[in-house]
Structure 1
Amino acid sequence: MKSFVIGRIKSLKFALYGMFLLVKTEHSIITQSLLSLLLIAIGFYIDLSKLDWIIQLFCMAFILAIESLNTAVEKLCDFVHPDYHPKIGFIKDIAAGAVSFAVLISIVILSITYYSYL
């Protein structure tokens, strides 16, 4: 049992370090984090309901998570094949497309959410 707990603590340490690396080095994560902070400030200003907070925070986490996975795919592709290759470009485009889906649906959800406050 003790080794299980220690293993989970180590895993958490790696995960938090990964989050730190993303926020420190990736411009897209930095930008989306700043936009999230802006939405949080707006949420406090307009006094979002509990459910609207949950929806907004989920959208933020959804975008940041998909963007993080996109970054991992891009880094792996660059490591495996540093030079341009059409198949690597295709893989990167698909990963970027996943981020676009997340952003677009989040924009729709947040537009619906904020519409009632305007």
Structure 2
Amino acid sequence: MRNKFLGTGESGYHPLHKIRTVLSGLRYAVFYDFSVAYKLALSLVVLAVAFGLREWVDFMLVMLVTGLVLVAELSNSAIEALCDFVEERHNEKIKVIKDIAAAGVGITILLWAVV
């Protein structure tokens, strides 16, 4: 796909390419990152219970917050992977970056528990 800011890549817009990219990233995260896999499994259980209660407004809130947790965890995983790519050895600055990303996940999990 062409990058309009850098002027590089192929020209044209391919929506199927975007969908393939999303599915590829999700598949990698689920199969190679335990944190994402178990949060996804737990999310499916929570959503099934919420759906079974048939309180649709509550179900929508649970679904919204569940999506937020998964987005936070995927973002955290991406940040950790990037940090590991940039610096393989222990680095205090990288540790701070990873800790902040993990704190974001922790806050969303607390919000999830409240809802």
- CA deviation map 1:85-118 (0-9, x unaligned): 0000000000000001111111112xxxxxxxxx
* CA deviation map 1:50-96 (0-9, x unaligned): 21111111111100101000000000000000000000000000000
Counterpart in 1 of 2:97? 91
Give the distance between the partners of 1:98 and 1:12, measured in 2 at CA: 26
More helix by share: 1
Number of aligned residue pairs: 104
1:59 aligns with: 65
Name the residue aligned to 2:27: 20
Q: Kindly provide the amino acid, as one letter, of the partner of residue 92 in structure 2.
A: P
Greater relative CO, 1 or 2 (CA 8 Å, sep 6+): 1
Between the aligned residues of both structures, percent identity stands at 30
Q: Does 1:29 align with 2:36?
A: yes
Unaligned stretches of 5+ residues in structure 1: 110-118
Partners of 1:105 and 1:44 in 2: how far apart? Answer: 19
Output the TM-score relative to the length of structure 1.
Answer: 0.82
Gaps of 5+ in 2: 1-11
Q: TM-score, normalised by structure 2?
A: 0.84
Give the superposed CA RMSD: 1.2
- What is aligned with 1:69? 75
1:48 offset after TM fit, Å?
Answer: 2.8
Runs of 4+ residues deviating >4 angstroms:
none
